[in-house]
Structure 1
């Protein structure tokens, strides 16, 4: 069941966390007028005029991106990033400092799309019209005809490019392996779903436990490092994954309480000194010790606010 793929390509999603590089470009209120294509074109012009001092690999931070880098190094594979603001970019490409996402939170494109009665897939189509089809997922697969393309995306990003994936020919699709959550499997067509590997919450019982945000990348790391299944046929790879998951137990997720922003900030303030302001340790304290429900992007905004308050002596 082995196949002869000697070249591999990793596609991961961009992250909300980025290394600071001056004032970030955002969708300004004046650019939000008119049809979506005009808004996307206005965004393209803004990013084109912005300075580019860091590569994509130097810009994005967070565990999901760190895992993708590890897999890329392990396989000697080229690394690409699917960006909601730039299309698909290579890891070594210089990129502007920007803030735009398709997940809920600050500087999300979702409110704009909701007001227009559109979906994130419409934003992706408009973005490709503005930036060029060479930024598409289909173009990435087409221009690497000898590579197995390993795609690790959360459901929000997979939903955004579902139509792009659908444009792949049957032969091109056979060279794709997709890693996402159980929800991610539901946002693509049956045809594309045939190349989504059957990972589920039992992955938390492996040597790669983590959060929802980095599930796709952890699944890919398990697939490549533990199973070495990137050299197997699709059927062989699916069988290897199911066999591995069969001996794992799903992690029991504790019931966490919901609290207001003010209540969470009070908790963070009380333990700021104990954890030296570490965002990672404070998030673990909040979730594991206080059993408080707090999505990562929301936590980061509150953590930044507390840090600012403490710096100002409030």
Structure 2
């Protein structure tokens, strides 16, 4: 038999649990803080916490933390969609989540990230069910990586034409502002070299340095020896998923810069604006060599002896990681 104190404690727990449930339900289904109808943009690749933070910032919900918690408890499991959504005044958190996981968009977007090869641009456009019509794989290096507004029912070909027009305008604009004494002599060469820079480094701060290094190699007639140029004719730019074979390093084709002096015949991906700018304004450097530094970047060297020491350090890092 429970004591008076035990009964009081049990009752307190029950009241507390009930209050918690009321708090959860009220914050989920109750009227939201938005005072008038608004639109809300969900960027491509956004996660629930980042969207919740933006919703709070825009005044559509009261608490990002509370929204995230309740969405995980009460949400229907639908994926957040990229696009612009109409949010009515005083929409509850439940209603907001239902809207941004629906297909009821004001505007729809497709995003082409920097360095996405044309075969994957083709795959992305083909997979978009909002678009219609057939599409050929676009010419490599002809698509400007960006986020594009699309209309439901628009043809894939019309979207691709806008992407290619964007690249043409960007190259024309940047070429007109190019630096002096460049190793690339045409806009086409600039895009080819930029495609290598795009694939060789994931660090924005390194782009100009990588461009300077490859510019030095081109001037002196050295082989570029860029690994992504080996991979491109094998996968058309998709990830190789394994180590490069010795036979592939020695292959002679229009792309392999281990056996071909100068630039590849064509681009190996669709470079972004920043990589094109880097090629047209490369870093003033004497560097001829680079090797990964273990952090996603590279260590640069002017001489082969210095480079060999850097390579030895990189191998030591890989052995310590168990990669070798």
Task: Please indicate the TM-score interval, normalised by the length of the shorter structure.
Answer: under 0.3
TM-score (normalised: structure 2): 0.23
Question: Which structure would you say has the larger Rg?
Answer: 2
More relative contact order, 1 or 2 (CA 8 Å, 6+ apart): 1
